[in-house]
């Protein structure tokens, strides 16, 4: 980049490489719509006004905004590798993501992080990686790897690393866990993402004091307002299983809006295709009374400023020409997408092909001890048990007490009650660990669903109403070396092979989406509760021991509020 040459173009004394003519520019600095041309050279915006270029595109008074930024996303939750993921989100207007490779790190450790960085560099999408802070999230589960403060220190200056990923062990932060605080100290000069569901008052003060800057776990306006008042940036999340934008939009004001961002966190390919990505967050916010320019600020400049990305997020000289073109400020239906001045998507279609990559560190990751001998029998002395109860559109759960049938000291399924058996089988180190519990509100009948996606350690998670189908599902996942399978009446309905860490695939998105849709439809036919928004993500979060209230790991039933393993029996 020749700065003198760019200045010459900015003065209007030379032709720009590209000029977008007749634009209605969304100015996120002034909150106004500005009419003019956008001059671009070397992928950089060199001028706003009246310009001529070697190439000119007449946008015919359509709107142009900065590219959208996802402030917190786990690529792995799309079940697509980074190149395939880029192919589906760029046409929706997302030009930059802040990615936390926490999921693959729990399986493959530092090598998993390296894989995510390397496989992201060949496409147009700007990918910034946060080093996962909690691998494992707690000591009450078995992960495939452990990332220590020394590991973080060793890789923090690697190309592509932006900061520290969500610090999910919020009790460890608040109550002074030494290793958690060593990780925070190692990353003192970097941005640190938070994860603090329902943390208020003095505990919030303690959490914020540690240097954590953001939080994406707000579910109420009260929580949003208190965290903003304590100096945090808040992501309004809209994923597949957790949807908070509609509620939290009611808390957006002129005074606090510049501290608010958007994220998806976890979103499946079909939902991205049907709804959108960050453009969908914007749309929902507008529908719920948020000013369109404010919503676009939340999707662009706010996130860029939060993460200290000085050259993106706005349309002004010196900023990268990451731009989104659309017809209406009310709907934000994306027509064209430019990244660094290159047209990379048009008409909801990517104009680039993914460059696919894998390696031996992230494949063949399924290692179960004596799977043929595993039993899902639940031995009980009392007929009152603790049950994980699902909450609509949320990954949080509640604890309920229910009476169950027992025969010869073994739990017996009662088809008249909405209680299913849940199992988490350790799959990394052949420990033989099997955690067993109960779930209410899922609703599956005459079968089982199994996955190697189970936050955060990603052991096998299996839900079903009979042991035979649960066992068949487990063996099928072992056979394909990771993925998702649905079993009905002793037969495998279908499976998706996720060859990368049991979490992602290089398979074309259309094939993945078709299989997911088929299994979801079949699960609905098998009685899956209509209030379960996403069969797969809802199941994946039943093992996450840092989200209240009751969860299951390979070591047993975990009470998040008490932060300890507890007995199944009441």
CATH number belonging to domain 67-266+290-305: 3.20.20.140
In the chain, the largest separation of any two C-alpha atoms, in whole Å, equals 90
To which H or E segment does residue 475 belong?
A: helix 467-480
Distance of alpha carbon 439 from alpha carbon 129, whole angstroms: 34
Distance of alpha carbon 223 from alpha carbon 238, whole angstroms: 17
Those residues of the chain that have pLDDT short of 70 are: 1
The sign of the CA dihedral 87, 91, 96, 97 is negative
- On whether the CB atoms of residues 448 and 468 are closer than 8 A, the answer is no
Assign a CATH topology to domain 1-65+315-346.
Urease, subunit C; domain 1 (2.30.40)
Distance of alpha carbon 166 from alpha carbon 212, whole angstroms: 9
In the chain, CATH 2.30.40.10 sits at 1-65+315-346
pLDDT of residue 394: 76
- The C-alpha angle 534, 120, 240, rounded to 5 degrees, equals 10
pLDDT of residue 323: 98
For residues 54-66, one letter each, b for 16 or more C-beta atoms within 10 angstroms of the residue's C-beta and e for the rest, the string is: eebbebeebbbbb
- On whether the CB atoms of residues 94 and 277 are closer than 8 A, the answer is yes
The DSSP code sequence of 369-386 is: SSGGG-----B-SSSEEE
- For the chain, how far is it from start to end, CA to CA, in angstroms? 68
Peptide linkage before 518 cis (omega within 30 of 0): no
In the chain, CATH 3.20.20.140 sits at 67-266+290-305
pLDDT of residue 2: 85
pLDDT of residue 396: 85
Distance of alpha carbon 471 from alpha carbon 66, whole angstroms: 50
Distance of alpha carbon 557 from alpha carbon 570, whole angstroms: 12
pTM tops 0.95, yes or no: no
pLDDT of residue 1: 66
- On whether the CB atoms of residues 356 and 83 are closer than 8 A, the answer is yes
Partner residues linked to 448 by β-bridges? 464, 487
CA atoms within 13 A on the CB side of 90: 27
For residue 4, give both structure tokens. Answer: 């003198």
Distance of alpha carbon 80 from alpha carbon 272, whole angstroms: 12
pLDDT of residue 548: 87
For 222-239, write each residue's pLDDT tens digit.
999 999 999 999 999 999
């Amino acid at each position: 980049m020749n700065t003198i040459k760019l200045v010459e173009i900015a003065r209007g004394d030379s032709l720009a490489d590209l000029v977008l003519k007749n634009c209605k520019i969304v100015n996120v600095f002034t909150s106004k719509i500005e009419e003019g041309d956008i001059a671009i050279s070397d992928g950089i915006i060199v001028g706003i006004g009246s310009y001529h270029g070697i190439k000119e595109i007449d946008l015919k008074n359509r709107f142009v905004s900065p590219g959208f930024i996802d402030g917190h996303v786990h690529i792995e939750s799309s079940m697509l590798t980074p190149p395939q993921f880029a192919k589906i989100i760029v046409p929706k207007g997302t030009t930059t993501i802040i990615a936390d490779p926490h999921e693959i790190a729990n399986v493959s450790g530092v090598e998993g992080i390296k894989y995510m960085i390397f496989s992201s560099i060949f496409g147009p999408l700007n990918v910034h990686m946060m080093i996962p802070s909690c691998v494992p999230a707690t000591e009450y589960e078995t992960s495939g790897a452990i990332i220590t403060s020394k590991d973080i220190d060793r890789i923090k200056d690697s190309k592509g690393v932006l900061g520290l990923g969500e610090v999910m062990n919020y009790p460890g932060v608040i109550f002074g866990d030494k290793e958690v605080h060593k990780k925070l100290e190692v990353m003192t000069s970097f941005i640190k993402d938070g994860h603090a569901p329902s943390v208020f008052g003095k505990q919030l003060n303690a959490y914020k004091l540690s240097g954590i800057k953001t939080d994406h776990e707000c579910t109420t306006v009260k929580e949003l307002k208190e965290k903003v008042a304590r100096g945090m940036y808040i992501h309004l999340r809209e994923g597949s299983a957790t949807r908070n934008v509609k509620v939290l939009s009611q808390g957006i004001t002129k005074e606090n809006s510049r501290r608010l961002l958007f994220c998806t966190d976890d979103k499946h390919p079909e939902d991205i295709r049907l709804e959108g990505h960050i453009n969908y967050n914007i749309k929902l916010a507008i529908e719920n009374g948020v000013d369109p320019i404010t919503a676009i600020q939340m999707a662009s400049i706010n996130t860029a400023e939060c993460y200290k990305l000085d050259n993106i997020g706005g349309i002004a000289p010196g900023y990268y020409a990451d731009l989104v073109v659309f017809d209406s400020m009310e709907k934000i239906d994306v027509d064209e997408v430019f990244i660094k001045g290159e047209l990379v998507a048009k008409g909801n279609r990517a104009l680039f092909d993914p460059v696919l990559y894998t390696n031996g560190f992230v494949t063949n990751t399924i290692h179960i001890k004596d799977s043929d001998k595993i039993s899902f029998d639940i031995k009980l002395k009392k007929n009152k048990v603790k049950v994980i109860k699902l909450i609509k559109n949320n990954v949080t759960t509640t604890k309920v007490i229910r009476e169950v049938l027992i025969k010869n000291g073994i739990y017996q399924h009662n088809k008249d009650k909405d209680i299913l058996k849940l199992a988490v089988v350790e799959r990394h180190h052949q420990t033989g660990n099997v955690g067993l519990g109960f779930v209410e509100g899922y609703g599956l009948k005459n079968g089982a669903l199994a996955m190697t996606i189970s936050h955060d350690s990603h052991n096998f998670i299996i839900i079903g109403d009979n042991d035979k189908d649960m066992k068949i599902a487990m063996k099928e996942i072992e056979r394909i070396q990771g993925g998702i399978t649905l079993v009905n009446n002793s037969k495998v309905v279908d499976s998706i092979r996720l060859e990368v860490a049991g979490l992602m695939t290089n398979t074309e998105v259309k094939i993945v989406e078709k299989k997911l849709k088929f299994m979801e439809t079949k699960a609905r036919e098998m009685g899956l509760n209509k209030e379960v928004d996403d069969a797969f993500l809802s199941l994946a979060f039943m093992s996450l021991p840092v989200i209240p209230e009751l969860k299951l790991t390979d070591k047993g039933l975990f009470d998040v509020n008490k932060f300890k393993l507890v007995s199944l029996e009441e």
